[in-house]
Structure 1
C-alpha cells in the first residue's frame, strides 16, 4: 500500500479556504497526481483541505472522504495557563531540540512542559490512535514501532490535510519524536509526500519514504512563505 500525503494549497486562514493562488496550486497538484492510480481520496474536514482534495478526486472519478481526526491541530497552555510562544509547536520544537536536547529522543519530549502542558499533545494522541484504526482497513496492524501486514493491499490512497495534523501523522507513521518532525521536516503548500507500506521480507513493515515535500510541480505558483497557523 502507498499513502500519498498532500498539504492543502495556499490558505486564507481567516476564512478556511484557498486563495486564488492556492486554487491554482491545487489544480496543478491534481495534474501531478494524475498517473498515480489513486483508489481513494481522504481529507481533513476543514475547507482548505477539502477544496485542495476536490481537484484530485474529480480527476480520478472519486468522492472526497472526510477524516475527522486529520482536522488541523490546536495548541496552547492547558487550563488557560500561559505557555511560551502561545504554545506554537514548531517554535517550541526548535527550542526543545536546541535548548533541552535530552528531551528530544524517544518519548521524552512528552515529559517536557512545552508539550506536557500543551493541548497539542492531545491532538497528536488522537491522530496516532485514529490513524492506526484507519490503516487497519488496509490490512496494516500496528505492532510497536512497525506495522504487520495482515491482509496485503496494493492500493494507493491520498490524504489531504495540514502542517500540524500531517506532521503528527508522519511522526507516528515513522515512529519519530514529534518535535523532530516539526523542526526538521517542514513541508510546503501542495507538497507531495509518499510513504510505502509494501512488505519486503516477511509480514513486518517499516514504512519507507518514497518522496517528501516535493513541490517541483508548482513552478511559478509556489509563492507562499513557509508558515503554519491554525
Structure 2
C-alpha cells in the first residue's frame, strides 16, 4: 500500500482558506495527482485542506472518501499561567484569556529550550516532558494515531506493537490532504520516532507530497518506509517557487521572513 500525505496550499489562516498563490499551487498539484490511480482520498475538516483537495477532486470528477476531524491541524497548545516554567520556551506570547496565556503551537517553541531536554528526542519519553505535563498534547497525539490506525486497518493493515499485521495485502494508493503539524504526527507514528525532531527539523512546503510505502519482507508483517518527504517537484516543473510557510527566518536580521 502507498500513502500520499499532502500539505494544503499557501494558507490564509485568518479565513481558513487559501491565498491567491495557494489556489494556484493547488491547481498545479491537481495536474500531478489527477492522473494517478488513487483509491481513496481523505481530507481534513479544515477549510484550507478542503480547498486544496477540491482542485484535485474536481480534476478527477470525484468526491472525498471522507472528511476527517482527526486530520485537522494538530491542536495541542499548552495553557500557561504566570510563573509556568515553559514561558521561556516561546519567543512571543500574545493571547491572554482569563489570566491564561495561550502560546503559539508546539513547533514554535525555541530550539534553545527543547534541544536541552533529551526526552524530546526519545520515541517514548517525550510523553514525560514538561510540555505534555502542561498541555493536552499526549491525548491529542493518541487520538490522531488511533484514528489513523483504525483507517489503515480498514485497508488491511492492523497495528501490532511497532509493526502492522497484514490482513489484506494490497498496492492501493491512499491520499491524505492535511497540515504540517499533523503530517509530522503521522510520520512519527509510522516511522517510530519522536514528533519533536520532525516538527522542528522539517519544513514541508505548501502542497508538498510525502510518499510512504508498506514493506512486507516477512509474510503477514509490514512496516512503513518513506520514499519521498515534502516533494514539491510539481511546483518547480510549473516554474513556481515554494512559498515560505512553515519556515522561520533564514537569518535573524531578515525581518521580511517569519520570526
- Report deviation, 1:174: 1.3
DSSP-derived class of the 2:229 partner = strand
Show structure 2 runs of 5+ residues with no match.
Answer: 91-102, 248-257
2:243 aligned residue (217, 224, 227): 224
Partner of 1:70: 71
Partner of 1:139: 156
Distance 1:125 1:152 in 2: 26
Distance 1:116 1:151 in 2: 39
**More deviation in 58-67 or 24-33?**
58-67
Show structure 1 runs of 5+ residues with no match.
Answer: none
- Report deviation, 1:87: 5.6
1:179 aligned residue (192, 196, 205): 196
The higher-RCO structure (CA 8 Å, 6+ apart) is 1
More helix by share: 1
Return closer, same or farther for 1:33/1:106 CA change in 2, 3 Å cut-off: same
Distance 2:151 2:79 in 1: 28
**More deviation in 204-213 or 33-42?**
33-42
TM-score by length of 1: 0.90
**More deviation in 125-134 or 58-67?**
58-67
Contact 2:131–2:137, Cα closer than 8 Å, also in 1 = no
RMSD of aligned alpha carbons: 2.2
**More deviation in 73-82 or 2-11?**
73-82
Rg comparison, structure with higher value: 2
TM-score by length of 2: 0.81
Q: Are 2:216 and 1:196 aligned?
A: no
Partner of 2:171: 154
- Report deviation, 1:223: 4.4
Contact 1:96–1:104, Cα closer than 8 Å, also in 2 = no
DSSP-derived class of the 1:29 partner = helix
- Report deviation, 1:226: 3.3
Q: Are 2:67 and 1:50 aligned?
A: no
- Report deviation, 1:119: 2.4
Distance 1:163 1:102 in 2: 22
Distance 1:144 1:178 in 2: 18
- Report deviation, 1:131: 0.5
Distance 1:19 1:91 in 2: 22
Aligned length: 229
What are the superposed Cα offsets for residues 59-111 of structure 1, whole Å, 9 maximum, x if unpaired? 22321221111011223324867543226311338445521125421211111
Distance 2:30 2:110 in 1: 32
- Report deviation, 1:6: 0.5
